[in-house]
Protein backbone atom coordinates (compact mmCIF):
# COMPACT_ATOMS: atom_id res chain seq x y z
CA UNK A 1 0.00 0.00 0.00
CA UNK A 2 2.90 2.29 0.69
CA UNK A 3 3.94 1.81 -2.93
CA UNK A 4 0.58 2.89 -4.20
CA UNK A 5 0.26 5.96 -1.95
CA UNK A 6 2.47 8.32 -3.99
CA UNK A 7 0.51 7.41 -7.12
CA UNK A 8 -2.76 8.33 -5.39
CA UNK A 9 -1.35 11.64 -4.20
CA UNK A 10 -0.12 12.47 -7.66
CA UNK A 11 -3.54 11.64 -9.08
CA UNK A 12 -5.26 13.85 -6.53
CA UNK A 13 -2.83 16.68 -7.29
CA UNK A 14 -3.51 16.41 -11.02
CA UNK A 15 -7.24 16.33 -10.42
CA UNK A 16 -6.91 19.50 -8.34
CA UNK A 17 -4.92 21.21 -11.11
CA UNK A 18 -7.52 20.22 -13.70
CA UNK A 19 -10.34 21.49 -11.47
CA UNK A 20 -8.57 24.78 -10.77
CA UNK A 21 -7.84 25.22 -14.48
CA UNK A 22 -11.47 24.52 -15.37
CA UNK A 23 -12.73 27.03 -12.80
CA UNK A 24 -10.20 29.63 -14.01
CA UNK A 25 -11.24 29.07 -17.61
CA UNK A 26 -14.89 29.47 -16.67
CA UNK A 27 -14.11 32.72 -14.87
CA UNK A 28 -12.27 34.04 -17.93
CA UNK A 29 -15.18 33.10 -20.18
CA UNK A 30 -17.65 34.80 -17.85
CA UNK A 31 -15.41 37.89 -17.75
CA UNK A 32 -15.17 37.99 -21.56
CA UNK A 33 -18.94 37.58 -21.92
CA UNK A 34 -19.46 40.38 -19.42
CA UNK A 35 -17.14 42.67 -21.36
CA UNK A 36 -18.93 41.87 -24.62
CA UNK A 37 -22.30 42.59 -23.00
CA UNK A 38 -21.06 45.91 -21.61
CA UNK A 39 -19.62 46.86 -25.00
CA UNK A 40 -22.91 46.13 -26.75
CA UNK A 41 -24.76 48.14 -24.11
CA UNK A 42 -22.36 51.06 -24.48
CA UNK A 43 -22.70 51.10 -28.27
CA UNK A 44 -26.48 50.93 -28.02
CA UNK A 45 -26.49 53.76 -25.49
CA UNK A 46 -24.21 55.85 -27.69
CA UNK A 47 -26.45 55.36 -30.71
CA UNK A 48 -29.47 56.30 -28.66
CA UNK A 49 -27.97 59.14 -26.63
CA UNK A 50 -25.02 60.18 -28.76
CA UNK A 51 -26.73 63.47 -29.31
CA UNK A 52 -25.87 64.41 -25.75
CA UNK A 53 -22.23 64.77 -26.79
CA UNK A 54 -20.91 68.12 -28.00
CA UNK A 55 -23.86 69.83 -26.35
CA UNK A 56 -26.36 68.71 -29.00
CA UNK A 57 -29.74 67.45 -27.86
CA UNK A 58 -31.90 68.01 -30.92
CA UNK A 59 -33.04 65.94 -33.89
CA UNK A 60 -31.23 66.72 -37.13
CA UNK A 61 -34.21 65.74 -39.26
CA UNK A 62 -36.95 66.95 -36.92
CA UNK A 63 -38.45 69.52 -39.24
CA UNK A 64 -41.27 70.26 -36.80
CA UNK A 65 -38.93 71.23 -33.95
CA UNK A 66 -37.27 74.67 -33.54
CA UNK A 67 -33.94 73.06 -34.44
CA UNK A 68 -35.33 71.28 -37.47
CA UNK A 69 -35.56 74.51 -39.48
CA UNK A 70 -33.76 77.85 -39.68
CA UNK A 71 -34.52 81.52 -40.31
CA UNK A 72 -32.59 83.83 -42.59
CA UNK A 73 -31.76 87.31 -41.28
CA UNK A 74 -30.65 89.30 -44.32
CA UNK A 75 -28.94 92.67 -44.14
CA UNK A 76 -29.64 95.03 -47.04
CA UNK A 77 -29.23 98.68 -48.04
CA UNK A 78 -30.71 100.21 -51.19
CA UNK A 79 -29.79 97.30 -53.44
CA UNK A 80 -33.21 96.09 -54.47
CA UNK A 81 -32.02 94.11 -57.49
CA UNK A 82 -29.64 92.12 -55.28
CA UNK A 83 -32.31 91.67 -52.64
CA UNK A 84 -34.70 90.24 -55.24
CA UNK A 85 -32.08 87.79 -56.52
CA UNK A 86 -31.18 86.61 -53.01
CA UNK A 87 -34.78 86.12 -51.89
CA UNK A 88 -35.59 84.29 -55.11
CA UNK A 89 -32.68 81.92 -54.56
CA UNK A 90 -33.02 81.13 -50.86
CA UNK A 91 -36.80 80.64 -51.10
CA UNK A 92 -36.17 77.18 -52.54
CA UNK A 93 -33.94 75.93 -49.71
CA UNK A 94 -35.69 72.93 -48.06
CA UNK A 95 -35.46 73.70 -44.32
CA UNK A 96 -36.00 77.44 -44.49
CA UNK A 97 -38.75 78.69 -42.17
CA UNK A 98 -38.71 82.46 -42.62
CA UNK A 99 -36.75 85.37 -44.08
CA UNK A 100 -36.29 88.52 -42.01
CA UNK A 101 -35.02 91.53 -43.94
CA UNK A 102 -33.12 94.02 -41.78
CA UNK A 103 -34.40 97.35 -43.11
CA UNK A 104 -32.52 100.46 -41.94
CA UNK A 105 -33.32 102.86 -44.78
CA UNK A 106 -35.02 106.20 -43.98
CA UNK A 107 -38.07 105.28 -46.08
CA UNK A 108 -40.10 102.11 -45.49
CA UNK A 109 -40.13 99.38 -48.18
CA UNK A 110 -42.49 100.16 -51.02
CA UNK A 111 -45.66 98.17 -51.58
CA UNK A 112 -44.41 97.15 -55.02
CA UNK A 113 -41.23 95.70 -53.51
CA UNK A 114 -43.23 93.79 -50.91
CA UNK A 115 -45.59 92.40 -53.56
CA UNK A 116 -42.71 91.34 -55.79
CA UNK A 117 -40.79 89.58 -53.01
CA UNK A 118 -43.88 87.77 -51.73
CA UNK A 119 -44.69 86.68 -55.28
CA UNK A 120 -41.15 85.36 -55.78
CA UNK A 121 -41.37 83.59 -52.44
CA UNK A 122 -44.59 81.79 -53.37
CA UNK A 123 -43.27 80.99 -56.83
CA UNK A 124 -39.96 79.47 -55.72
CA UNK A 125 -40.84 77.89 -52.38
CA UNK A 126 -41.35 74.16 -52.22
CA UNK A 127 -44.90 72.90 -52.19
CA UNK A 128 -44.50 71.36 -48.73
CA UNK A 129 -43.35 74.59 -47.05
CA UNK A 130 -44.64 78.08 -46.45
CA UNK A 131 -41.79 80.54 -46.01
CA UNK A 132 -42.71 83.71 -44.16
CA UNK A 133 -41.27 87.07 -45.29
CA UNK A 134 -40.85 89.80 -42.67
CA UNK A 135 -39.40 93.31 -42.90
CA UNK A 136 -37.77 94.29 -39.60
CA UNK A 137 -38.01 98.09 -39.78
CA UNK A 138 -35.40 100.15 -37.88
CA UNK A 139 -35.55 103.88 -37.23
CA UNK A 140 -31.78 104.26 -36.90
CA UNK A 141 -29.26 103.43 -39.61
CA UNK A 142 -26.76 101.24 -37.76
CA UNK A 143 -24.94 97.99 -38.46
CA UNK A 144 -26.03 96.90 -34.97
CA UNK A 145 -29.52 96.47 -36.40
CA UNK A 146 -28.62 93.15 -37.98
CA UNK A 147 -28.25 91.67 -34.50
CA UNK A 148 -31.35 93.10 -32.87
CA UNK A 149 -33.47 90.56 -31.02
CA UNK A 150 -36.41 89.20 -33.05
CA UNK A 151 -39.20 88.53 -30.58
CA UNK A 152 -41.35 86.19 -32.67
CA UNK A 153 -38.57 84.11 -34.23
CA UNK A 154 -39.81 80.51 -34.44
CA UNK A 155 -36.49 78.75 -35.00
CA UNK A 156 -33.39 78.40 -32.85
CA UNK A 157 -31.08 78.67 -35.85
CA UNK A 158 -30.35 82.03 -37.47
CA UNK A 159 -28.58 82.16 -40.83
CA UNK A 160 -27.11 85.66 -41.00
CA UNK A 161 -26.44 86.66 -44.60
CA UNK A 162 -25.73 89.76 -46.68
CA UNK A 163 -27.90 90.52 -49.70
CA UNK A 164 -24.95 90.31 -52.12
CA UNK A 165 -23.73 86.78 -51.43
CA UNK A 166 -25.36 83.52 -52.52
CA UNK A 167 -24.60 79.95 -51.50
CA UNK A 168 -26.16 76.84 -53.06
CA UNK A 169 -28.98 75.44 -50.93
CA UNK A 170 -27.09 72.16 -50.55
CA UNK A 171 -24.18 74.05 -49.00
CA UNK A 172 -26.51 75.94 -46.66
CA UNK A 173 -28.22 72.69 -45.60
CA UNK A 174 -24.85 71.09 -44.80
CA UNK A 175 -23.77 74.09 -42.70
CA UNK A 176 -27.12 73.88 -40.91
CA UNK A 177 -26.45 70.21 -40.10
CA UNK A 178 -23.04 71.15 -38.69
CA UNK A 179 -24.68 73.86 -36.59
CA UNK A 180 -27.20 71.33 -35.25
CA UNK A 181 -24.26 69.31 -33.95
CA UNK A 182 -22.95 72.32 -32.01
CA UNK A 183 -25.80 74.84 -31.73
CA UNK A 184 -24.07 77.26 -29.37
CA UNK A 185 -21.11 78.05 -31.60
CA UNK A 186 -20.90 80.07 -34.82
CA UNK A 187 -20.79 78.08 -38.05
CA UNK A 188 -19.87 79.97 -41.19
CA UNK A 189 -18.14 80.20 -44.54
CA UNK A 190 -15.84 83.23 -44.23
CA UNK A 191 -12.98 82.67 -41.73
CA UNK A 192 -10.70 85.34 -40.32
CA UNK A 193 -7.95 85.40 -37.70
CA UNK A 194 -6.43 87.64 -35.06
CA UNK A 195 -2.65 87.70 -34.67
CA UNK A 196 -0.49 88.98 -31.85
CA UNK A 197 1.34 92.14 -32.85
CA UNK A 198 4.94 91.36 -31.90
CA UNK A 199 6.05 94.93 -32.49
CA UNK A 200 3.54 96.42 -30.03
CA UNK A 201 3.59 93.84 -27.25
CA UNK A 202 1.67 90.82 -26.00
CA UNK A 203 -1.60 92.67 -25.42
CA UNK A 204 -1.89 94.11 -28.94
CA UNK A 205 -3.30 92.27 -31.94
CA UNK A 206 -3.62 92.53 -35.71
CA UNK A 207 -6.59 91.56 -37.84
CA UNK A 208 -5.78 88.75 -40.27
CA UNK A 209 -7.67 88.56 -43.56
CA UNK A 210 -8.33 85.59 -45.83
CA UNK A 211 -4.76 85.16 -47.05
CA UNK A 212 -3.39 84.69 -43.53
CA UNK A 213 -6.04 82.02 -42.96
CA UNK A 214 -5.19 80.33 -46.26
CA UNK A 215 -1.48 80.34 -45.49
CA UNK A 216 -1.67 79.03 -41.92
CA UNK A 217 -4.96 77.12 -41.85
CA UNK A 218 -5.79 78.85 -38.57
CA UNK A 219 -8.77 81.10 -37.82
CA UNK A 220 -10.66 82.47 -34.82
CA UNK A 221 -13.72 84.11 -36.42
CA UNK A 222 -16.35 83.36 -39.05
CA UNK A 223 -17.90 86.53 -40.39
CA UNK A 224 -21.63 87.10 -39.98
CA UNK A 225 -22.03 87.95 -43.67
CA UNK A 226 -22.66 84.19 -43.99
CA UNK A 227 -22.96 82.31 -40.68
CA UNK A 228 -25.30 80.26 -38.52
CA UNK A 229 -25.72 81.00 -34.82
CA UNK A 230 -28.31 80.48 -32.08
CA UNK A 231 -31.07 83.09 -31.79
CA UNK A 232 -30.19 83.66 -28.11
CA UNK A 233 -27.14 85.63 -29.27
CA UNK A 234 -29.45 88.24 -30.81
CA UNK A 235 -30.91 88.86 -27.37
CA UNK A 236 -27.45 88.78 -25.79
CA UNK A 237 -26.15 91.30 -28.33
CA UNK A 238 -29.19 93.55 -27.82
CA UNK A 239 -29.20 93.45 -24.01
CA UNK A 240 -25.60 92.75 -22.96
CA UNK A 241 -23.25 94.12 -25.60
CA UNK A 242 -21.54 97.20 -24.06
CA UNK A 243 -23.04 100.46 -25.28
CA UNK A 244 -19.55 101.78 -26.02
CA UNK A 245 -19.01 98.98 -28.55
CA UNK A 246 -22.37 99.61 -30.22
CA UNK A 247 -21.61 103.33 -30.48
CA UNK A 248 -18.18 102.58 -31.92
CA UNK A 249 -19.74 100.31 -34.57
CA UNK A 250 -22.39 102.89 -35.49
CA UNK A 251 -19.84 105.67 -35.90
CA UNK A 252 -17.23 103.62 -37.76
CA UNK A 253 -19.80 101.66 -39.84
CA UNK A 254 -17.65 98.59 -39.45
CA UNK A 255 -16.82 95.59 -37.25
CA UNK A 256 -20.27 94.44 -36.09
CA UNK A 257 -19.27 90.98 -37.32
CA UNK A 258 -16.11 90.99 -35.19
CA UNK A 259 -18.16 92.11 -32.19
CA UNK A 260 -20.54 89.16 -32.63
CA UNK A 261 -17.57 86.78 -32.85
CA UNK A 262 -16.25 88.20 -29.57
CA UNK A 263 -19.68 87.85 -27.98
CA UNK A 264 -20.12 84.17 -28.89
CA UNK A 265 -16.53 83.23 -28.05
CA UNK A 266 -16.80 85.01 -24.70
CA UNK A 267 -20.01 83.10 -23.92
CA UNK A 268 -18.73 79.66 -24.98
CA UNK A 269 -14.92 79.79 -24.63
CA UNK A 270 -14.95 77.81 -27.88
CA UNK A 271 -13.82 78.46 -31.45
CA UNK A 272 -16.20 78.83 -34.40
CA UNK A 273 -16.53 76.25 -37.19
CA UNK A 274 -15.47 77.02 -40.72
CA UNK A 275 -17.57 75.23 -43.34
CA UNK A 276 -16.47 74.73 -46.92
CA UNK A 277 -18.85 76.27 -49.43
CA UNK A 278 -18.86 77.91 -52.83
CA UNK A 279 -19.65 81.59 -52.58
CA UNK A 280 -21.16 83.66 -55.37
CA UNK A 281 -20.77 87.40 -54.88
CA UNK A 282 -23.45 89.11 -56.96
CA UNK A 283 -22.76 92.68 -55.86
CA UNK A 284 -19.98 95.19 -56.38
CA UNK A 285 -17.02 95.39 -54.03
CA UNK A 286 -17.83 96.50 -50.48
CA UNK A 287 -15.97 98.22 -47.67
CA UNK A 288 -13.40 95.40 -47.50
CA UNK A 289 -11.94 96.62 -50.80
CA UNK A 290 -11.40 100.17 -49.53
CA UNK A 291 -7.99 101.42 -48.50
CA UNK A 292 -7.12 101.07 -44.82
CA UNK A 293 -9.71 98.35 -44.23
CA UNK A 294 -7.32 96.00 -42.39
CA UNK A 295 -6.05 98.83 -40.20
CA UNK A 296 -9.60 99.77 -39.19
CA UNK A 297 -10.39 96.15 -38.42
CA UNK A 298 -7.21 95.92 -36.33
CA UNK A 299 -8.38 98.94 -34.33
CA UNK A 300 -11.70 97.17 -33.75
CA UNK A 301 -10.04 94.01 -32.48
CA UNK A 302 -7.94 95.92 -29.95
CA UNK A 303 -10.92 98.05 -28.92
CA UNK A 304 -12.98 94.93 -28.23
CA UNK A 305 -10.12 93.27 -26.33
CA UNK A 306 -10.09 96.25 -23.97
CA UNK A 307 -13.88 96.23 -23.60
CA UNK A 308 -14.09 92.48 -22.96
CA UNK A 309 -11.14 92.55 -20.55
CA UNK A 310 -8.96 90.27 -22.67
CA UNK A 311 -8.81 88.32 -25.90
CA UNK A 312 -12.00 86.24 -26.08
CA UNK A 313 -11.43 84.75 -29.55
CA UNK A 314 -10.28 81.11 -29.66
CA UNK A 315 -8.12 79.98 -32.61
CA UNK A 316 -8.64 76.63 -34.34
CA UNK A 317 -7.55 74.81 -37.49
CA UNK A 318 -10.59 72.59 -38.00
CA UNK A 319 -12.74 72.76 -41.13
CA UNK A 320 -16.06 71.07 -41.90
CA UNK A 321 -16.31 69.51 -45.34
CA UNK A 322 -19.13 67.45 -46.82
CA UNK A 323 -17.16 64.54 -48.24
CA UNK A 324 -20.20 63.30 -50.16
CA UNK A 325 -19.52 66.12 -52.60
CA UNK A 326 -15.71 66.22 -52.39
CA UNK A 327 -13.23 63.51 -53.20
CA UNK A 328 -10.48 65.63 -51.68
CA UNK A 329 -10.38 68.51 -49.23
CA UNK A 330 -8.20 70.41 -51.71
CA UNK A 331 -11.06 71.30 -54.04
CA UNK A 332 -12.33 74.88 -54.37
CA UNK A 333 -13.37 76.67 -51.19
CA UNK A 334 -14.64 79.93 -49.79
CA UNK A 335 -12.38 82.89 -49.27
CA UNK A 336 -11.63 84.47 -52.59
CA UNK A 337 -9.43 81.77 -54.14
CA UNK A 338 -10.27 78.31 -55.46
CA UNK A 339 -7.98 76.32 -53.22
CA UNK A 340 -7.36 75.58 -49.54
CA UNK A 341 -4.20 74.79 -47.60
CA UNK A 342 -2.69 71.30 -48.10
CA UNK A 343 -2.52 68.48 -45.53
CA UNK A 344 -6.25 68.28 -44.93
CA UNK A 345 -8.27 65.14 -44.32
CA UNK A 346 -11.81 64.41 -45.48
CA UNK A 347 -13.94 61.94 -43.54
CA UNK A 348 -16.98 60.09 -44.87
CA UNK A 349 -20.41 61.61 -44.22
CA UNK A 350 -23.20 59.13 -45.08
CA UNK A 351 -26.46 60.53 -46.45
CA UNK A 352 -29.08 61.33 -43.83
CA UNK A 353 -27.06 60.16 -40.83
CA UNK A 354 -26.91 61.94 -37.48
CA UNK A 355 -23.14 62.25 -37.18
CA UNK A 356 -21.52 64.04 -34.28
CA UNK A 357 -19.28 67.02 -34.77
CA UNK A 358 -15.82 65.41 -35.13
CA UNK A 359 -17.04 63.34 -38.09
CA UNK A 360 -17.63 66.52 -40.11
CA UNK A 361 -14.11 67.78 -39.76
CA UNK A 362 -11.03 68.19 -41.87
CA UNK A 363 -7.95 69.30 -39.98
CA UNK A 364 -5.28 71.48 -41.53
DSSP state of 31: H
Residue 71, beta-bridge partner list: 98, 158
156 catalytic? Reply is no
Alpha carbon distance 226, 187 (integer Å)? 9
Alpha carbon distance 140, 6 (integer Å)? 107
Phi, psi for residue 199 in degrees, rounded to 5: -75, -25
Alpha carbon distance 334, 222 (integer Å)? 11
Residues 6+ apart with CB under 8 A from 259: 237, 241, 245, 249, 300, 304
Q: Which of 74, 76, 127 is nearest to 98 (CA)?
A: 74
Contacts 24+ apart (CB under 8 A), 256-260: 256/143, 256/144, 256/146, 256/147, 256/224, 257/221, 257/223, 257/224, 257/225, 258/207, 258/221, 258/297, 258/300, 258/301, 258/304, 259/300, 259/304, 260/147, 260/186, 260/224, 260/229, 260/233
Alpha carbon distance 149, 265 (integer Å)? 19
DSSP state of 138: -
Alpha carbon distance 184, 325 (integer Å)? 26
Q: Active site residue: 163, 257, 306, 322, which one?
A: 257
Phi/psi-derived region of residue 310, left when phi > 0, alpha when psi is between -120 and 50, beta in every other case: left
Check: CB of residue 102 under 8 Å from CB of residue 136: yes
Check: CB of residue 280 under 8 Å from CB of residue 165: yes
Q: Which of 114, 112, 120, 89 is nearest to 101 (CA)?
A: 114
Check: CB of residue 225 under 8 Å from CB of residue 160: yes
SS3 169: helix
Known catalytic residues are 257
Amino acid sequence: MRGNLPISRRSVFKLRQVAIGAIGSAKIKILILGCVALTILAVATRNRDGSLLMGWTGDVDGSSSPRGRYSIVMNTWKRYDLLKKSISHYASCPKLDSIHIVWSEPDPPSDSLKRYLNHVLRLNSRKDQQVELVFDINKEDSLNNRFKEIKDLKTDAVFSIDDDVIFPCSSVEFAFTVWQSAPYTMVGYVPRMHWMDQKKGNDKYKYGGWWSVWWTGTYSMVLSKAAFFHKKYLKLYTDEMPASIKEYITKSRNCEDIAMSFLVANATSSPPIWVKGKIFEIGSTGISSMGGHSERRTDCVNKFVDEFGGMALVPTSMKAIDSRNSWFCSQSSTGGVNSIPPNTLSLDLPEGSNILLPRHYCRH
